[in-house]
Amino acid sequence: MRFMNTLAKSVLLTTSAVRSLTVIAKPSRVNKTVLSVAADNRIMSAAPLSTQSFPTEMTEAERYLFDLNGFIVIRGVLTPEEVREANEVIDRHEHEMVERSDAALRNAVQGTKLYGSGPGRKDLGRVLEWGAESKVFKSILGHPRLVPLFHGILGKGYRMDHLPFVLCQDHGAEGFQLHGGTIDCETGEYNPNLAYSCFQGTIRSVLLGCNVMLTDHNPGDGGFCVVPGSHKSNFKMPDGMRDGELYSEYIIQPVTKAGDVVLFSEGTVHGALAWTPENRQRRACLYRFAPATCSYGRSYMADGESTWPKGIYEDLTEAQRAVLEPPYANRLDRPNIESDGSVKLTTRSKRKRQHDRDVFGTKYF
């Protein structure tokens, strides 16, 4: 059963009145009288925000495609206005970008296709620490279009695992050698830290990439690329493939519009192609999420404290704040985003907490 997602209201009331939807993002209930088809065949909706709704569960089609390929493109998550707003904010912070210019920071091997023709990738961090300017970036943490997929891939109580950042490529800028893989594509060894599983219909990915496209990625442009199905591979990648020199027909660059989101298991081998457009900087904001009990990054203990950098906590919704919890099990009093967008605490009984205190002298075991 699908419900109007109340989270949609809290996030979207603060954003634009125009929302793009696609077949994959088929809404459960939308005011049909205001739907129209845009030139690029996307369904454009100028419906009042309060009537917008999203599926509250990952759909069967989404499950099939994610399990098959190890990634999925979710269309039109951010509205054109939100994309514009995010890019304007990035423009204001452009001077803070850090180019990976030193040889030790390069992501591709010189002389290979992925290296491009010279410039390094530019990284722009602190996207959640810009106060009101971070609104669009924060919206991704508990975005009503994405929450059902996060639940379907990571489970309830999912958490932000890495600090998100904007990655930028100017003309000719290097991409990123293929990396990741449940069978590490470099060593051929099993990597449980990026494990992907599907057991009795339940998908789980220990680390999920969430690449929010902020510019169009047309065929041949370059940028994010992936080896579909490699999350289930059993063997080491053949020599030459990691650099895109060989077997490039098996390396796919998903074609996306600004506002689309690519969700990918870090267990799916991926990377980036050099950027080819001459007058258009590539921009994407990359997040990583993990199940409630899993942790790969350690910035949730920034500077040795048990919190993310303090600035992140400003102006968060309850749902966004829940996603910033450190790793621990759901049954230990964890705030959970529910499928209707509300946040509920999964509680541990008072008596058991008292027992923990009696035994360990701490609030939890």
Ligand X SMILES: O=C(O)CCC(=O)C(=O)O
> Which residues are near ligand X by CB under 6 A?
167, 176, 211, 223-224, 270-272, 284, 286
d(CA 288, CA 231): 16
CB of 121 to ligand X, least distance (A): 7
CB 123 within 8 A of CB 272: no
CB of 276 to ligand X, least distance (A): 14
Select 139 or 215, whichever has its Cβ closest to ligand X. Answer: 215
Contacts 24+ apart (CB under 8 A), 195-198: 195/267, 196/70, 196/231, 196/232, 196/265, 196/267, 196/268, 198/67
CB of 223 to ligand X, least distance (A): 6
d(CA 156, CA 159): 9
| DSSP letter for each residue of 254-310 | --B-TT-EEEEETTS-EEEEPP--SS--EEEEEEEEE-TT--S--GGGGGGSSSS-G
DSSP annotation of 89 reads H
Q: Could you give the 3-state DSSP secondary structure of residue 25?
A: coil
Select 151 or 270, whichever has its Cβ closest to ligand X. Answer: 270
At 181, list the tokens: 């893989």
- Chain centroid to Cα 272, Å, comes to 16
CB of 281 to ligand X, least distance (A): 13
Select 53 or 256, whichever has its Cβ closest to ligand X. Answer: 256
Q: Could you give the 3-state DSSP secondary structure of residue 168?
A: strand
CA angle 252, 254, 255 (to 5 degrees): 135
Select 55 or 181, whichever has its Cβ closest to ligand X. Answer: 181
- Chain centroid to Cα 260, Å, comes to 11
DSSP annotation of 152 reads H
CB of 15 to ligand X, least distance (A): 24
DSSP annotation of 355 reads H
CB of 324 to ligand X, least distance (A): 21
Select 8 or 260, whichever has its Cβ closest to ligand X. Answer: 260
Helix (H) or strand (E) holding 80: helix 80-92
CB of 284 to ligand X, least distance (A): 5
d(CA 312, CA 315): 8
Select 45 or 276, whichever has its Cβ closest to ligand X. Answer: 276
* Phi, psi for 143 (deg, rounded to 5): -65, 130
Select 270 or 334, whichever has its Cβ closest to ligand X. Answer: 270
Select 150 or 165, whichever has its Cβ closest to ligand X. Answer: 165
CB of 193 to ligand X, least distance (A): 14
CB of 72 to ligand X, least distance (A): 15
Specify the residue for token string 């190890």: 70
Select 74 or 272, whichever has its Cβ closest to ligand X. Answer: 272
d(CA 177, CA 228): 16
